[in-house]
Amino acid sequence: MRAISFYICILPTKLTMVMRLLLTAFFILTLGTVFSQEHPIPSLKYDDLTKSYQQIDSNASAVVVDEWGKTELEVVEADHALRVVHTYAVRIKILKKEGVDYANFQIPLYAFGNTFETIADIKGKTYNLRNTGISESEMNKQSIFLEKTSPFLHLAKFTLPQVEEGSIIDVQYRIFSPDVLNFRTWQFQTDIPKIHSAYTAIMPATYQYRVVLRGPYKLTDTKTEVLRSHFLLNGVRNDCSKITYVMDSVPAFLEEEHMLASKNYKSAVYFELEQYYLTNGSKVRVTKEWRDVDRELLTEKSFGGQLKKEDLFQNLLPTWIATASTDLEKAMAIYDHLKRTIRWNQVYGKYAQFGIKESLEQHKGNIGDINLALITALNAASLPAYPVLVSTRENGIPNNLHPVISDFNYVIASVTIDGKSYFLDASEAATPFGELPLRCINEQGRIIYSKKSSEWIPLKNEQPSLVSFTFLGQLDTAYNLTGKLTISYKGLDALKKRNEIASFNSQEEYFERMQEKIPNIGVKKSSLQNLDSLKDFLYEQLEIEMPMDEYVQNGILHINPIFINRTLKNPFNLNERFYPVDLGAQRHVTHNVNIRVPEGFIIHSSPKNSAMKLPEDAARFMYQSSIDKDRFVLRQVVSLNKAIYSVDEYFHLKEFFSRVIQQQQQELVITGTR
């Protein structure tokens, strides 16, 4: 992933210009910026509709022919306020029937305080070839509607008419935002290829931005100019900088398994406001030092203010830790009791939503309520615990160059006992002490020690993810394979399985659903072991029966001994992957198979043994079988010995799984008579 940073800062030559520049909604404005609704996407030509574009990407269902955007500030005289205006226009060619979905638009509009972003001037047209001419279908305004998704998010939705394979659609709109301190991120790369994408940012002279280009692709062109006297404010004209970023021939971003949020890796330009000037000439730094953020967090009522409420646990702790004799046992008891006391309402947050007191009384809360309560309870028991700010995997990797508090959407606890630190998240009943759910494993978090001290720490699970399949069975003379199948889970796989089981009304309902997923295997009896004992392996025990007669020809049975959880498809298929493979933890999958055949049957041949490993023991594979008279024994182990594989290791990992799949296609051959 490339990240190129540079700074935009054009300062006025006269201090009076700085002092008079409008920066917030409370200053008096006299004249706004003139906004042009024109955009540089050229008029449609006949050749645009007849051109196939398939040579760009034969797998693409649609392609962005041209895309243009512009963001600038606009003065609203009636409200004596500033707003950010974002203009967008795009032309898309529909290449395949599946690409028709790209005619459905959902534009997010966010809340800033009590004010929402708004959208206006939405226009859409569909162009089709009809006989020898071009047919135009304009979108009706009645096709546009606003969905109020949450108190923080609205969605503007519309669908263009008459869209089919071969159509070209044109869309344009403007978004008005009250968030004057932020420019919008421009995504050059999406899930379909783009021929041309251009973005223009017009910024006041007294704003200093750090501009970051992320992703693997370079800009085709960058144009910079100064717009002299762009604002007329209180009789004084002020300058702005105008920068246009262009990227041509942008490939589609292809997502694959085991990755962090795609926005970490897509080619895009980001704007990070570092400082600006007030009308009195004073400078305001937006980018702060971590000690400033630490102090603000720990003095914030919904964060540090909650950590002071240790008295709320004085009456609870004696009962919670009554049977604990060591500090570790005390911490585990507090963790377990808190999970049962406050139920997660499925809302993320680094701040408390209700506060510890109300969450304890109402037995519900968001992530901030739960884990800040956990930290406070641990400290009340004289166990040193600290908050750790986290950005979840889907939220993106946090900025580690300087504090951007909005990057974090989650908080967990860190407690140190006998010199060892444990990460804790008490939001889910199935999460064992000292382990984190996958959503929290996102490179690193920021641990806040005090108002003057914090540091980055890696987020990882020491416990590998373990899955084992053990089958002990026998083949009868009617070619029925019966026996006992035991599946064990530990680590992230155990957490996932326990949560899956909990999603059903009963264990019986869960096993019924399992039977539907494996129709070729009859389950005669089933049970679970250690479902609530989180420190132990979770076991599924199944008595199964599999008719094998359909695999018999001329008295010869061909059976694949890896009959469950066999790798059928390589999870890594890209020609080139520009982002790491992130599993969240090391992972080991084991198969143990033991099959006895009846008298008169002969195990004619078994799969060949195989073993391989990647450089530096990054991964191992072992497939070993043997025949002992009437018994076939197989042991297979797939060990991924790293939680994260770099881009340079991708090809080796891809080839590794390709060979695993080939090996698992081998069959056991048994001869006999009925």
Ranges of each domain in the chain? 2-285, 290-458, 465-671
Q: How far apart are CA 659 and CA 310, in angstroms?
A: 56
Q: Rounded to whole angstroms, what are the CA distances from 140 to 23, 124, 165, 239, 494?
A: 38, 8, 21, 40, 51
Whether the pLDDT of residue 61 is over 50: the answer is yes
Report in angstroms the alpha-carbon separations of 345 from 350, 360, 435, 504, 606: 14, 13, 20, 18, 53
Q: Are 454 and 445 in contact (CB under 8 A)?
A: no
Side-chain-facing half-sphere of 217: CA atoms under 13 Å: 24
Instruction: Give the pLDDT confidence of 428-450 residue by residue, as tens digits.
Output: 999 999 999 999 999 999 999 99
Percent of the chain with pLDDT over 70: 92
Give 590 or 208, the one with higher predicted confidence: 590
**Residue 122 · residue 186 · CB < 8 Å:** no
Total-model pTM: 0.86
Under DSSP, is residue 107 helix (H, G, I), strand (E, B) or coil? strand
| Distance in angstroms (rounded) separating the CA atoms of residues 81 and 65 | 36
Question: Residue 97 has what pLDDT?
Answer: 95
pLDDT tens-place string over residues 396-405: 999 888 888 8
Q: Which residue has the higher pLDDT, 5 or 219?
A: 219
- Give the whole-angstrom CA distance, residue 145 versus residue 156: 6
Cα first-last separation, the chain: 62
Q: Whole-angstrom Cα distance, residue 168 to residue 166?
A: 7
Confidence class for position 674, pLDDT limits 50, 70, 90:
low
Give the three-state DSSP class for 369: helix
Q: 34: pLDDT confidence band, cut at 50, 70 and 90?
A: very low
Report the top-level CATH class of 2-285: mainly beta
Instruction: Specify which residues 593 forms β-bridges with.
Output: 471, 634
**What's the 3-state SS for 12-46?**
CCCHHHHHHCCCCCCCCCCCCCCCCCCCCCCCCCH
The residue with greater pLDDT, 379 or 82, is 379
Most distant CA pair in the chain, distance = 104
Q: What is the rounded average pLDDT for all residues in the chain?
A: 90
- For residue 13, the model assigns a pLDDT of 38
Q: Is it the case that residue 12 has pLDDT exceeding 60?
A: no
**What pLDDT is recorded for position 431?**
97
Identify the pLDDT of residue 497.
Answer: 97
Place 151 in a pLDDT band, splitting at 50, 70 and 90: confident
Which pLDDT score, from 0 to 100, does residue 20 have? 32
Residues contacting residue 537 through CB under 8 Å, at least 6 positions apart: 466, 488, 489, 490, 494, 530
Lowest model confidence (mean pLDDT) among 213-227, 272-286, 373-387, 488-502 = 272-286
Rounded to an integer, the average pLDDT of 157-168 is 96
Tell which wins on pLDDT, 155 or 5. 155
- Kindly indicate the confidence band of residue 3, based on its pLDDT and cuts at 50, 70 and 90: low
| Token code pair at residue 120 | 């206006």
**In terms of Cα–Cα distance, which of 308, 305, 313, 384 is closest to 342?**
313
Q: Does domain 290-458 have CATH number 3.10.620.30?
A: yes
Round the CA-based radius of gyration of the chain to a whole number and report it: 31
Residue 413 above 60 pLDDT? yes
- DSSP H stretches of helix in 34-118: 46-50
The pLDDT confidence band at residue 661, using thresholds 50, 70 and 90, is: very high
What is the DSSP code string of 219-271?
-SEEEEEEEEEEEEETTEEEEEEEEEEEEEEEPPP---SS-S-GGGTS-EEEE
The answer, yes or no, to whether residue 414 has pLDDT greater than 80, is yes
The confidence band for 81, taking pLDDT boundaries of 50, 70 and 90, is: confident
DSSP category for residue 157: E
37 pLDDT more than 50? no
| CA angle centred on 171, ends 166 and 173, rounded to 5° | 170
Residues facing residue 523 across a β-bridge: 544
67: left (phi over 0), alpha (psi -120 to 50) or beta: beta
Residue with tokens 């450089």: 615
> What pLDDT, in 10s, does the model give residues 302-333?
999 999 999 999 999 999 999 999 999 999 99
Question: What percent of the chain clears pLDDT 90, i.e. is strictly above it?
Answer: 75
Report strand pairing: 343-344 vs 364-365: parallel
Neighbour tally for 175: CB within 10 Å: 22
Is the CATH code 3.40.50.10420 the one for domain 465-671? no
Dist CA 16 CA 294 (whole Å): 35
648/277: higher pLDDT: 648
> Which of 408, 416, 395 minimizes the C-alpha distance to 446?
408
Q: Which helix (H) or strand (E) holds 389?
A: strand 385-390
Report pLDDT digits (tens) over 344-398.
Answer: 999 999 999 999 999 999 999 999 999 999 999 999 999 999 999 999 999 999 9
Strand partners of residue 83: 74
Joined tokens for residue 616:
């530096």
Residue 26 has pLDDT above 70, yes or no: no
Q: Record the tokens describing residue 502, joined without a space.
A: 């909990």
What's residue 309's pLDDT?
97
CB-CB neighbours of 195 under 10 Å: 16
Q: Model confidence over 569-615: pLDDT tens digits?
A: 999 999 999 999 999 999 999 999 999 999 989 998 889 999 999 99
Phi, psi of 154 (to 5 degrees): -115, 155
pLDDT tens for residues 211-240? 889 999 999 999 999 998 887 655 567 788
Q: What pLDDT was estimated at residue 462?
A: 93
Identify which has the larger pLDDT, 478 or 113: 478
